[in-house]
Amino acid sequence: MKKKNGTESSDFGTNGRINHDSSKFYNSKLYSTLDNKIEIDKTENKLPNEYLNKFILGSAENMKELPNNSIHLMITSPPYNVSKVYDDDLTLKEYLQLLENSFRETYRTL
Ligand X SMILES: C[S@@+](CC[C@H](N)C(=O)[O-])C[C@H]1O[C@@H](n2cnc3c(N)ncnc32)[C@H](O)[C@@H]1O
**Which residues of the chain form contacts with ligand X (CB under 6 A)?**
59-61, 77-80, 86
Q: 70 vs 98, which CB is nearer to ligand X?
A: 98
Nearer to ligand X, 32 or 77 (CB): 77
Q: Which residues of 38-53 are buried (b: 16+ CB within 10 A; e: fewer)?
A: eeeeeeeeebeeeeee
Cα separation, 16 vs 24, in Å, equals 16
**Which residue lies nearer to ligand X by CB, 8 or 61?**
61
CB of 79 to ligand X, least distance (A): 4
Q: What's the closest the beta carbon of residue 88 comes to ligand X, in angstroms? A: 7
Query: What is the closest distance, in whole angstroms, from the C-beta atom of residue 77 to ligand X in the complex?
Result: 4
DSSP 3-37: PTT--B--SSS----SS-B-HHHHTSGGGTTS-TT
